[in-house]
Amino acid sequence: MKFQLVNHGWPINGGAMLIPTGTILDGADWKWQGVALPMPPPVNAAAMDQEAYDLLRLTYPANQILIAGENINRG
């Protein structure tokens, strides 16, 4: 399960750190620079695979889901 941050960065650790736009995050190692990330990913995370897409659909059902990967079921 992979996500890419688009549009703006993701503040974490109480705002002490900012994951930059364009960063790809891997659900298999849900950390950034050794810091555990909160779940779910932010609304500006684009799904890069089907599993990521499905999680975003469950988390943000009323919002437009961003797609960064190929061959993702967009229905």
40 in a structural domain = yes
Number of domains in the chain: 1
Instruction: Name the band, by pLDDT with cuts 50, 70 and 90, for residue 75.
Output: low
22 in a structural domain = yes
pLDDT (0 to 100) of residue 48: 93
Q: Residues of the chain with pLDDT > 90: what percent? A: 63
70 in a structural domain = no
* Overall pTM > 0.85: no
32/16 Cα distance (integer angstroms): 13
1/73 Cα distance (integer angstroms): 14
Tell me: pLDDT of 73 over 80: no
73 in a structural domain = no
In terms of residue numbers, what domain contains 17? 2-59
* Tokens matching residue 57: 């659909």
Q: Which of the two residues, 62 and 48, has the higher pLDDT score?
A: 48
Mean pLDDT in the chain? Answer: 87
12 phi and psi, to 5 degrees?
-130, 175
* Tokens matching residue 55: 């999680």
54 in a structural domain = yes
